[in-house]
Chain A
Amino acid sequence: MKELLSGNEAIARGAYECGVTVATGYPGTPSTEILENIVKYEGVYAEWSPNEKVALDVAAGASFGGARVLVAMKHVGINVAADPLFTLSYTGVKGGLVIITADDPELHSSQNEQDNRNYAKFAKIPMLEPSDSQEAKEFVKIAFEISEKYDTPVFLRTTTRISHSKSIVEIHEPKRSPISLELVKNPAKLVMLPANARKRHPIVEERLRQLKTFADEFSENKVEINNANFGIITSGVSYQYAKEVFPDYSYLKLGLIYPLPEKLIKEFAGKVKKLYVVEELDPYIEEQIKAMGIKIAGKDIFPICGEFNPSIVENAISPSSKQHMKEEVSLKLPPRPPNMCPGCGYRGIFYVFNKLKLFVAGDIGCYTLGFLPPLSAIDTCVSMGGSIGHAMGLDKALGDEAIGKVIAVIGDSTFLHSGITSLLDIVYNRGSSTVVILDNQTTAMTGRQEHPGTGLTLKGETAKKVDLIELCKGLGVEHVRTVDPFDLTSVEETVKEEIFRKEPSVIISQAPCVLLKSQRVKPSKPFMVFNEKCNGCKACIKLGCPAIEWKNIKDVSKTDKLTSDNKKRKGIAIIDSMLCNGCGLCQQLCKFEAIGEINA
């Protein structure tokens, strides 16, 4: 049967078809849909772990017990999981262990565009790279076979264009895993004390030697000899781009990108006149081929930064084909960045941060959008959980200079992911920072996934819900307060009090994400601007709400240049009732009582 699947859906299907019974991960674009799809299959236990390291630890345990396990995360998630990763390369597996690393060239939705192919070489773990959804599904199966045969975790690397592109896939029936589930003590393999680990390292090196031989014979390292003047070595989506623009060139398409098939590469190089490596990001394949003593063109003609597309590949290899891409009409268009939703519980918090001119140590989630004008109230964003450490570091470095000026802001899911230990640091090391936890009851940015604070599991079962207040108190924070982010006065007073306190404090802002279905049942009444009262002061505009628009008076028909009480105005605010969620922030800011509920 044929199905249209995204790379992520195909990976989930492939795992199901080859008998995976445990799957773990933490949401992160572009990997999120893998777990969301695998959980739908019968007989698969799938969980959102609190973070990627926990996900990999749980996966390792399941593998030690004999289960086939899939772990899925985005590229930067591998950084979080790197600690167990490197040593799992030594222990090896019992049931197959496949780790999906979903890279994001172009940083569509990430804080960097690191090339995780380097992890394969670094951790000495084989890595496969599919070039469409059909391969994504089949490579998962191959990955499990390699994992069990060579006693190693295996990486399957995707990029955004593989994860989020749909193509046609042949569906098969599931088969059971060939490995039996059992508890087997094997300390020499699983207890990585120096004495044991020292003996495992040569085993890893021997495994790599065997895998190199395997790579030369692997049927997914495919040679296509066409025009012998030009040869392209490539993998993943880059293969598709190259094939699109140079269908007649010769190809060595790599399915296994670590270790590389040295013999096969040398043979291919001998068959073509001019050789290119087409790869996004780092010169990862290129450097290894050059180390084999082969002359090849790569990053001397291709960019390192950003993702490729067919035009980039075409222009790099045959610049003469370069089209004149300059627009005859140069159109300068206003950008359309993403924004916090109308009615978002974060908006009021950032409005207050901006008003108090705070230095805001930020984190990763929808609230990073608080960086954009007019809120302009995120001053750092580096890593998951980073905000709390940044605030602590700023406080310690600047001393009294920082008091009343620095605040940390972090979402609920991110706090539970990796903010807890940083908060502990503030308590333990006599810090005095204030941390605002934006509790919107979901992992919002990646599309609203559950986490330990939502009371539901990935499967939708009810779960024990962590109590953030008690958690913070348990860590030793004595000043833990909650605020309603839709009450601007209360937010401002609370923030002012806590930032001057010379002890650690936490403010928990409680408002569920406006996109959560349970909240949609009873939307508040939308608001409107009473035209005759609006004096065009733009106070409400400073919220940056997508539902509020400021219009120049000359563009508004039937409107006077004066308000009803004879005040001059240049324009008026307008609220789009289709977009407004009735949060009421703008009404609190209006000094002219010009905003009220519709039908009030």
Chain B
Amino acid sequence: MPDSNTNILAVGVGGQGIILASEILTYALMNAGYDVKKSEVHGMSQRGGSVNTHIRFGKKVYSPVIKEREVDILFAFEQLEALRYFGFLKPGAMVILNNHTVNPPSVSLGIDEYPGDVPQTIKKRFPNFHLVNGLDLALKIGNSRTANIVLLGVLSKYIKVEENSWIDAISKVFPEKLININIEAFRLGRKEG
């Protein structure tokens, strides 16, 4: 295990399943023997607000919060929210972006404009960039609500954790009847993303 820790920042909009996906990620990392910490703020963020979850893992983790400019992987569920956290990224950070937009209130009201061509903006700054159509992939297995787990499958390709640790984590977090479909979603993301 390397001495330095890895920092993942998961961002998006309340209701997209970010907290659950982060929960699975954290369990998988613990299963694989890492020290791991996860920090998020719930409460107000549930009501369609901006959500961010910090996940840090390695040999020994102190702060549950990632230092500015120290994010190794930005795991973004929504385009605008990906842009919002640019200042946290390390130069050369990897960005995994779900190709999805959710209008904030001021855009719906016609006051502000949604930023144009977000994927291009990100790619210019962070060439290590992966655009994923999470919803399309989730619909392939017939359940739009598994988009978050498809995205987690994509992320899993870049983290040194054996597949069975992921599967154990998914099995722990979901109720019995939802385990299989989510394992399927995870494997799809891991394969196709």
Q: Which of B51-75 contact A (CB under 8 A)?
A: 61-69
A226 adjacent to chain B (CB < 8 Å): no
Minimum distance in angstroms from B148 CB to a CB of chain A: 15
A341 to B47, CA, bound (A): 7
Q: Given the interface contacts A241-B65, A309-B63, A334-B114, does A167 sit within 8 Å of B37 by beta carbon?
A: yes
Contact B80 A333 (CB under 8 A): yes
- Which of the 9-residue segments A75-83, A413-421, A499-507, A546-554 touches chain B? A546-554
B179 adjacent to chain A (CB < 8 Å): no
Contact B41 A160 (CB under 8 A): yes
B contact residues around A240 at 8 Å (CB): 62-64
Contact B13 A550 (CB under 8 A): no
Q: Given the interface contacts A165-B64, A327-B86, A374-B109, does A336 sit within 8 Å of B36 by beta carbon?
A: no
Contact B62 A550 (CB under 8 A): no
Minimum distance in angstroms from A402 CB to a CB of chain B: 31
Contact B107 A334 (CB under 8 A): yes
Minimum distance in angstroms from A235 CB to a CB of chain B: 14
- Nearest residue, chain A, Cβ from B169: A4
B191 adjacent to chain A (CB < 8 Å): no
B87 adjacent to chain A (CB < 8 Å): yes
Q: Given the interface contacts A160-B41, A168-B36, A309-B65, does A571 sit within 8 Å of B115 by beta carbon?
A: no
Q: Given the interface contacts A168-B35, A334-B104, does A108 sit within 8 Å of B64 by beta carbon?
A: no
Contact A549 B48 (CB under 8 A): no
A337 adjacent to chain B (CB < 8 Å): yes
Contact of B43 among A4, A334, A374, A446 (CB under 8 A): A446
A544 to B114, CA, bound (A): 17
Chain B 154-174: CB-based contact to A (< 8 A → 1; otherwise 0): 000000000000000000000
Chain B 60-103: CB-based contact to A (< 8 A → 1; otherwise 0): 01111111110000000000110110110000000000000001
A contact residues around B49 at 8 Å (CB): 336-339
Contact B39 A161 (CB under 8 A): yes
Contact A109 B110 (CB under 8 A): no
Contact of B13 among A334, A336, A447, A541 (CB under 8 A): A336
Residues of A within 8 Å of B, CB-based: how many? 57
Minimum distance in angstroms from B117 CB to a CB of chain A: 13
Minimum distance in angstroms from B81 CB to a CB of chain A: 7
Contact of B39 among A109, A164, A337, A550 (CB under 8 A): A164
B38 adjacent to chain A (CB < 8 Å): yes
Minimum distance in angstroms from A135 CB to a CB of chain B: 13
Most A-side CB within 10 Å, residue of B13, B23, B46: B46
Contact B87 A325 (CB under 8 A): yes
B120 adjacent to chain A (CB < 8 Å): no
A contact residues around B32 at 8 Å (CB): none
Chain B 7-50: CB-based contact to A (< 8 A → 1; otherwise 0): 00000011000000001001100100001111111111111111
A247 to B62, CA, bound (A): 10
B136 adjacent to chain A (CB < 8 Å): no
A293 to B164, CA, bound (A): 58
Q: Given the interface contacts A335-B106, A374-B109, does A325 sit within 8 Å of B69 by beta carbon?
A: yes
B contact residues around A108 at 8 Å (CB): 41, 43-44
Minimum distance in angstroms from A87 CB to a CB of chain B: 32
B180 adjacent to chain A (CB < 8 Å): no
A contact residues around B110 at 8 Å (CB): 538, 541, 550-552, 571
B128 adjacent to chain A (CB < 8 Å): no
A contact residues around B69 at 8 Å (CB): 323, 325
B contact residues around A496 at 8 Å (CB): none
- Nearest residue, chain A, Cβ from B27: A4
- Nearest residue, chain A, Cβ from B121: A329
Minimum distance in angstroms from A40 CB to a CB of chain B: 15
Q: Given the interface contacts A167-B36, A243-B62, A244-B63, does A323 sit within 8 Å of B47 by beta carbon?
A: no
Q: Which of A336-351 contact B (CB under 8 A)?
A: 336-341
Contact A369 B47 (CB under 8 A): yes
Contact B107 A549 (CB under 8 A): yes
Contact of A168 among B30, B40, B107 (CB under 8 A): B30
B contact residues around A374 at 8 Å (CB): 109
- Nearest residue, chain A, Cβ from B29: A4
A59 adjacent to chain B (CB < 8 Å): no
B contact residues around A311 at 8 Å (CB): 67-68
Contact B68 A548 (CB under 8 A): no
Given contacts A109-B44, A334-B80, 7 further A-B contacts (CB under 8 A): A164-B41, A165-B37, A240-B63, A331-B115, A336-B80, A338-B44, A541-B110
**Which residues of A are interface residues toward B (Cβ below 8 A)?**
2, 4, 29-30, 108-109, 132, 160-161, 164-168, 237, 240-241, 243-245, 247, 309-311, 314, 323, 325, 327, 329, 331, 333-341, 366, 369, 372-374, 445-447, 538, 541, 544, 546, 548-552, 571
4 closest A-B pairs (Cβ-Cβ)?
A109-B43, A338-B47, A338-B49, A29-B43
10 pairs, A vs B, C-beta closer than 8 Å: A166-B23, A166-B36, A167-B38, A241-B62, A244-B63, A310-B65, A325-B68, A327-B87, A341-B47, A447-B46
